[in-house]
Amino acid sequence: MDKKVFVSAGGSGIGRCIAEAFLKNGDQVFVCDINAESLAQFKQDFPQLHTYSCDLAQPDAIQDMFQQVVHTFGHLDVLVNNTGISGPTVAAEDLNLEDWNAVLNLNLNSTFLMTKLAIPYLKQSIGGSIINLSSIAGRLGYPYRLAYSTSKWGIVGFTKTLSMELGIDNIRVNAILPGAVDGERVQHVLQARADLANISLEQATQNALNNQSLKYFVDPKHIADLCVFLTSESGRSISGQILPIDGDKQYLN
């Protein structure tokens, strides 16, 4: 049977890859994103897609958006919490409270609120599934990105605890921890590292790959494939797991 799937921040990047994978699997998919233009382009490419432009930093906007999800689907089978911002690349002593709060608000508070709203509708599924996108920064730490790393470690605890609470309702909860994902975003991260270390972008890229067993950045389609697997019949007994997909990255510069 086709699943009813909601993906946050699904207008581009990893979120779009995840949503596309479910669409190609024959599922019904609803995505939200703050970027209305990216949503319009996505829907043009996949007319069956349901979209909603929403600033997930605003609790009232999340409430309004979720009412539309429920009106469209009735219930949910899959929730993919893909929302997140990285915040500034600065030393802890230079990180201001406003930036700290902005990262934790979007990465943690919005994830909590969307999940809280989704749980009653996931309970109506014969086997609901929640996938939370954390990061390698939620497994190993991330110098100069304190707020981001803290929020992604929070997602790990959020996932573990929810899996314990919701197992009785046959809802499984897992977290995926990507490393450096190929695309425009990783180039910005590498440039920031290069600037901090006063080295070239090429050297920063090589340093990153030197720390990996697999000498390439993660294809976002591989993250999407894992999402589809975890929500499939083959993944029915997998819950409470923290799943890195990072080329076996051992540490960060």
- The secondary structure of residue 187, as a DSSP letter, is H
Other CB atoms within a 10 A radius of the CB of residue 49 amount to: 21
Asked if 148 is an active-site residue, the reply is yes
CA 194 → CA 19, 87, 199, 213, distances in Å?
32, 17, 5, 22
Structural tokens at position 182 = 């190929």
Neighbours of 232 (CB within 10 A): 14
Which two structure tokens, joined as six digits, stand for 126?
A: 């014969």
Residue type, 49: L
Q: Regarding the domain with residue range 4-245, which homologous superfamily does it belong to in the CATH classification?
A: NAD(P)-binding Rossmann-like Domain (3.40.50.720)
pLDDT tens digit sequence for 18-69: 999 999 999 999 999 999 999 999 999 999 999 999 999 999 999 999 999 9
The mean per-residue pLDDT over the stretch 84-96 comes to: 94
What is the rounded average pLDDT for all residues in the chain? Answer: 93
What pLDDT sits at residue 249? 67
pTM of the model: 0.92
Name the catalytic one among 52, 121, 142, 148: 148
User: Quick one: DSSP state of residue 104?
Assistant: H
For 194-232, the pLDDT digits (tens) are 888 899 988 888 887 877 788 878 899 999 999 999 999
Where are the chain's structural domains? 4-245
How confident is the model at residue 193, as a pLDDT? Answer: 80
- Tokens 């600033």 label which residue? 55
